[in-house]
Amino acid sequence: MFDAAELGQRVTKSDFKKRELDLRARLLVLQYRTLEFARFPVIIDFAGVDGAGKGSTINMLNKWMDPRWVRSIGYHAPTQEERARPRFWRYWRDLPQKGRIGLYLSGRYSRPLLGRVYGGSDELEFDQRLAEIIRFENALVDDGALILKFWMHLSQEHQKARLDELSADPLQSYQVSDGDWRNHKNYEGFIAAAEQIITRTNRGGAPWNIVEGVDPNYRHLRVGEIIAAELSRHLDAQERKAALAGSAESPRVAEPPAADPTTVFDSLDLSQTVARRDYKKKVREYQAQLGDLGRKAFDKGVSTVLVFEGPDASGKGGAIRRTIWSLDARTSRVHQFAAPTDEERAHHYLWRFWRKMPAAGFVSVFDRSWYGRVLVERAEGFASEDEWRRAYNEINDFENQIVDRGILLLKFWLHISEEEQLKRFKKREKSPYKHWKLTDEDWRNREQWDAYELYGHDVVQYTSTQKAPWILVEGNNKLHARLKVIKTVMDHLGERVGGA
């Protein structure tokens, strides 16, 4: 696979200067077009053998382009904060905004590569890590991102010569570590693992480019010219797509549901109630136990994610307040989500939720969540059919990563009847401290009750998995709903930390 990158290709200094002027002008024009268009991010990854010039090529790209709109990030072994979260948390956190460029060194391929070479992962685990990367890249590409990946290559002989050269120079010897020499001794293992990586993950939307790294002039020009060609192609395609979408644009409305659809919510017994006296006794008991479990979870580093969805006025806020009442306010966070901000719209829709994943021992509560893509965005036409349909798989993958990291994930759907919602809306209108909760949007959403109920049914059908099942809560009686939520959290957390 790498023979074509061991041909000794070189570019003379005079030729480099001529080609550099043209390339730099092209890159700047394309960069500003991308920034102005602001419809997709550019993600450029650099991997390869030690000494092949990854860092110097990144520096050259920053010189050629406007560095204000370029972010360069190099990764090291995960920190304690990063280890407490799903593996891809730091990669999602560091994604560039649409219109901007990210240059990444020792990124998502580095850990699987090192694990494979030094025996930390077997063939199955290695393949699973690569499958995770593919799903991550697919989600970004489907959202319009341009992903380019460069493997900077040197033969074993040239690598040794390069490391010797750097080591002998007092001004550059700091660039060579004991790890670099250890990797050199394992050169064949690195090349074998790299071949597997490139073969498995070289896909149309996120291609690999193998670049010979012996001559810096050749290397810099080759990388820059590939970026210019691919960015130009991607810009043209995305601009055509935007123009077609604009010319055919018409008001999007929710597709009408089937007449009288039967949903999973029809099986709920919404008549369940709890006497206020019993509620007061049990809620104090449950909250005390949950408070003790929360302290144990913090001591053991067990993180929790609670998700709350359901119709407007279904009691999500009340259930959340009673649940976190006894938890340490220093270790619990409630995140409320409405329409995305400008910064959030400039990223993949999951970006804002990845950023809120809890640290070790902390609790993150999501009042509305990533399910907005397949609920309100589907209903209001903010997401195309292709976008909300593929979101089910993206969400399942997201939640699998949360659970696989050892985080307790509980998803609650609080449901009420259409009649109960109307009753609560009217009560809010008259309440001096609740009327602010009722908006014109709530009334508008109510007109689409059947559609939202059908979309909720689809959510449960497609995303209630073994690892992350939905917990349906009968919400017509608020006291019953609150007790069920608190006890469910208490029971699951108790299983994780050994009981109250």
Q: How far is CA 490 from CA 80, 159, 290, 477, 479, in A?
A: 27, 57, 5, 20, 16
Percent of the chain residues topping a pLDDT of 90: 82
Confidence class of residue 255 from pLDDT cuts 50, 70 and 90?
low
Tens digit of each residue's pLDDT (9 = 90 or more) over 338-385:
889 999 999 999 999 999 999 999 999 999 999 999 999 999 899 999
Note the pLDDT of residue 269.
97
Is it the case that residue 16 has pLDDT exceeding 70?
Answer: yes
225 occurs within a structural domain: yes
Q: How far is CA 31 from CA 28, 66, 116, 122, 397, in A?
A: 5, 8, 37, 41, 32
Tens digit of each residue's pLDDT (9 = 90 or more) over 68-81:
999 999 999 999 99
Mean pLDDT of 147-162: 94
Note the pLDDT of residue 253.
55
Note the pLDDT of residue 227.
98
Residue 77 backbone phi and psi in degrees, to 5: -55, 145
255 occurs within a structural domain: no
Is it the case that residue 57 has pLDDT exceeding 60?
Answer: yes
| Same structural domain, 230 and 320 | no
| Same structural domain, 227 and 288 | no
Q: Which of 268, 199, 185, 181 is nearest to 1 (CA)?
A: 199
* CATH at 293: 3.40.50.300
Note the pLDDT of residue 172.
85
**3-class secondary structure, 304:** strand
Last residue of a domain, one of 217, 247, 277: 247
Is it the case that residue 250 has pLDDT exceeding 70?
Answer: no
257 occurs within a structural domain: no
Tens digit of each residue's pLDDT (9 = 90 or more) over 135-153:
999 999 999 999 999 999 9
Q: Rounded to an integer, what is the distance from CA 184 to the centroid of its chain?
A: 34
Is it the case that residue 257 has pLDDT exceeding 60?
Answer: no
Is it the case that residue 171 has pLDDT exceeding 90?
Answer: no
Note the pLDDT of residue 175.
84
| Same structural domain, 232 and 300 | no
Note the pLDDT of residue 252.
55
Instruction: Report the C-alpha gap between 43 and 101 in whole angstroms.
Output: 6
Q: Are 47 and 130 in contact (CB under 8 A)?
A: no
Q: Rounded to an integer, what is the distance from CA 354 to the centroid of its chain?
A: 5
Which has the higher per-residue pLDDT, 50 or 297?
297
426 occurs within a structural domain: yes
- Partners of 180 in beta bridges: none
Instruction: For residue 268, give the amino acid letter.
Output: L
Which has the higher per-residue pLDDT, 235 or 427?
235
| Same structural domain, 230 and 314 | no
Confidence class of residue 262 from pLDDT cuts 50, 70 and 90?
confident
DSSP H helices in 216-369 = 216-247, 276-300, 316-324, 342-345, 351-354
Note the pLDDT of residue 124.
94
What is the span of the domain harbouring residue 310? 264-497
| Same structural domain, 242 and 306 | no
Q: Are 359 and 85 in contact (CB under 8 A)?
A: yes
Calculate ∠ Cα 401-484-431, nearest 5°.
105
Q: Are 75 and 104 in contact (CB under 8 A)?
A: yes
61 occurs within a structural domain: yes
Mean pLDDT of 237-254: 74
313 occurs within a structural domain: yes
Which of 203-207, 439-443, 450-454 is predicted with the least confidence, judged by mean pLDDT? 439-443
CB atoms closer than 10 angstroms to residue 308:
26
Which has the higher per-residue pLDDT, 431 or 336?
336
Which of 26-35, 139-148, 239-248 is predicted with the least confidence, judged by mean pLDDT? 239-248
Mean pLDDT of 205-215: 95
**Given its phi and psi angles, is residue 207 left (phi above 0), alpha (psi -120 to 50 degrees) or beta?**
beta
| Same structural domain, 216 and 295 | no
| Same structural domain, 411 and 295 | yes
**Number of domain units in the chain:** 2
Last residue of a domain, one of 247, 273, 293: 247
Q: Are 316 and 414 in contact (CB under 8 A)?
A: yes
Note the pLDDT of residue 435.
60
Note the pLDDT of residue 285.
96
Note the pLDDT of residue 427.
87
| Same structural domain, 67 and 23 | yes
| Same structural domain, 200 and 304 | no
Query: For the whole model, what pTM was predicted?
Result: 0.91
217 occurs within a structural domain: yes
258 occurs within a structural domain: no
| Same structural domain, 130 and 238 | yes
Percent of the chain residues topping a pLDDT of 70: 95
Which of 200-214, 246-260, 313-327, 339-353 is predicted with the least confidence, judged by mean pLDDT? 246-260
| Same structural domain, 352 and 226 | no
| Same structural domain, 328 and 368 | yes
pLDDT, the chain, mean: 93
Is it the case that residue 211 has pLDDT exceeding 90?
Answer: yes
Note the pLDDT of residue 244.
87
Q: Which of 394, 372, 360 is nearest to 445 (CA)?
A: 372
Confidence class of residue 434 from pLDDT cuts 50, 70 and 90?
low
Mean pLDDT of 34-47: 97
